[in-house]
Every structure is written in C-alpha cells, then in structure tokens.
A and B are shown apart, each in its own frame.
Chain A
C-alpha cells in the first residue's frame, strides 16, 4: 500500500540496548523527518533529511543516529537506549517542490525503555 509506514508499532527494550526504528515511504518524497512526542513537550524534531545521503540535526538529536541511503527509507537508531528516550516516535515525509506543502505522518512507534 502507498503511504508512510513505521515499524515496529510497539517496542520495549532495556536500558543500554541499541534500537532501530524503521520508516518507509512510497511517494518518493524528498524530505523525511523524525519527531518524538512527550507529554508537556509536544512534538519535537530529532533529525531530518532533505534527500538521500543528506541529514541534519533537529531540536533534540542527542543519543540518536539516522541514515538515508535510499530515498524511501529513513531509519532512526538509538545507540544506547535510556529511560528518557521512552516516547512516541513519529516519522513524516514531505514533497520538496512546493513550498507550504503538508507533511504526512506514519502511525507512530511507542517505545518503552525499562
């Protein structure tokens, strides 16, 4: 199906483990984003990418790594998970050619670090 999908939808991991959250979009959108959503903070940008092999830090990048070897995939890796990284993670994509165009979000990954 066309769209933007995230996997897994739910994940429980232990402190110190490496975790990778996957994001895949079928629209060939140039821009992709990772956000985390926490009570009291709203959605905060972790990393974004303007195209394959181009990534940049957002507001809260510490403890996260991203890569974008293909336009359609934008995985987010927590190198050594901490309890403070318990959150809901949303991936999004946006078409670059038209200014003001909307971003489309995946359904989210609920990550719990114990």
Chain B
C-alpha cells in the first residue's frame, strides 16, 4: 500500500464548478500536511498547508482528519488557471515529504 493515496482522476470540470480532491495517508506519526500544485513540466509549488482545524485561502479549503488519516481539498468557482496536477503531501519528523501520485484537474471553458 502506498504511503499517500489520492483520487486517481483525471477531473474535467466546467468553469465555475466546485471540485473536491481526497487523500489518505498510512503513517499515523506524520506531522505536517500540504497540498502542492504542479503545472505541466514545472516544479511543484506549495498551494496550502493543511491543519486539523481546517483552513481556507480564497476559493481553496483544506481539511485534515487525523483520526481517519484523511486530507481533502475543495476548490470553489473553478478557473481555467486552476488546471494543474494537485499533489497531496505528508511530512515526517525529518521534514522529508512523501507525495501522492497526484490528481490532474482540467477546467474547461
């Protein structure tokens, strides 16, 4: 079983739609949680950190459920520029990041 598992995707949604990505992780000792975004053939970049209390950044909302070892990302009012691969990322005590395989999102006009 992979340490971090994500929805396989791809997700193709119209502009303005709401889309949700889910992720589960297997290591209960994991300490930090993130969503990264990766554009085609580019480096990953941090989208947002994820906290147990949930956090929101504009149209993006992330949630963490430690008991279920589950992480989610909600994107409201999708824009064409949101098209990318979204990576669920979990960090251990040594700061090394473990990545999910990613979920590809295409927002259609």
Chain A residues with CB under 8 Å of chain B are 31, 33, 35, 40-45, 48, 50, 56, 58, 90, 92, 94, 96, 99-100, 102-103, 105-108
Residues of B in contact with A, size category: 20 to 34
From B12-20, B40-48, B70-78, the one touching the partner chain is B40-48
In the assembled complex, the Cα of A35 lies from the Cα of B87 at a distance in Å of 14
Specify which chain B residues have a CB less than 8 angstroms from the CB of A105 in the assembled complex. Answer: 43-45
In the assembled complex, the Cα of A41 lies from the Cα of B98 at a distance in Å of 12
In the assembled complex, the Cα of A71 lies from the Cα of B24 at a distance in Å of 34
Interface pair B96/A58, CB less than 8 Å apart: yes
Specify which chain A residues have a CB less than 8 angstroms from the CB of B27 in the assembled complex. Answer: none
A-B contact list, 26 entries, CB within 8 Å: A31-B94, A33-B96, A35-B99, A40-B101, A42-B87, A42-B101, A42-B102, A43-B44, A43-B97, A43-B99, A44-B99, A45-B96, A45-B98, A48-B94, A56-B94, A58-B96, A90-B44, A100-B32, A100-B91, A102-B34, A102-B49, A103-B46, A103-B95, A103-B97, A105-B43, A108-B42
